[in-house]
Amino acid sequence: MAAVRVRRIGTHAFTATNERGAHVRVGRAGEPGAFTPVELLLAAAAGCVGITAEDLVVRRAGADAAIEAVAEDVRPVGAHELDAVAVRLGLDLSALGGAERAELVAVVNRAVEAVCTVTRTLKRSTRVDLAVP
């Protein structure tokens, strides 16, 4: 099971640390050098899609295949809830023919639908349990 600890380091500034010692700054919108919580959610969605697609893409398009996933929040300005998360996966498939390209796109879509934990969870709208002692 994964755990992330978030500790306050200043006004509107926090550090998130995982069990392997990686750190990322978290803060409000406009906080220099920090991700907002929503940006971290977007990074998780895009990262999960990219990581899920990587082996499939590299196997077919080569070890140097360019992969870029971009996630955007979809919500009205000022809203405190997302209507959707839009993820675009950019791939350089210029080395593949039309049929190979179509097959890879289908395989990547199936893999993301089947095993991308973050996007699958977002689609399902998971329960969040908050404990405050």
Q: Are the C-beta atoms of 85 and 71 separated by less than 8 Å?
A: yes
- Cα Rg of the chain, angstroms: 18
**Domain residue ranges of the chain, discontinuous segments joined by +:** 1-35, 36-133
Residues with Cβ within 8 Å of 121's Cβ and at least 6 positions away in sequence, in order, are: none
Q: For the whole prediction, is pTM greater than 0.85?
A: yes
CA angle 50, 55, 56 (to 5 degrees): 90
Q: What is the percentage of the chain residues whose pLDDT exceeds 90? A: 87
Second-level CATH architecture of 36-133 = 2-Layer Sandwich (3.30)
Q: 78-88 pLDDT, tens per residue? A: 899 999 999 99
Q: 27-42 pLDDT, tens per residue? A: 999 999 999 999 999 9
CA angle 15, 67, 92 (to 5 degrees): 160
How would residue 95 be classed by pLDDT, with cut points 50, 70 and 90?
confident
How would residue 125 be classed by pLDDT, with cut points 50, 70 and 90?
confident
Res 1 pLDDT > 80: no
Q: 52-72 pLDDT, tens per residue? A: 999 999 999 999 999 999 999
Give one DSSP letter per residue of 28-79, joined into a string: STT-TT-B-HHHHHHHHHHHHHHHHHHHHHHHHH-TT--EEEEEEEE--TT-
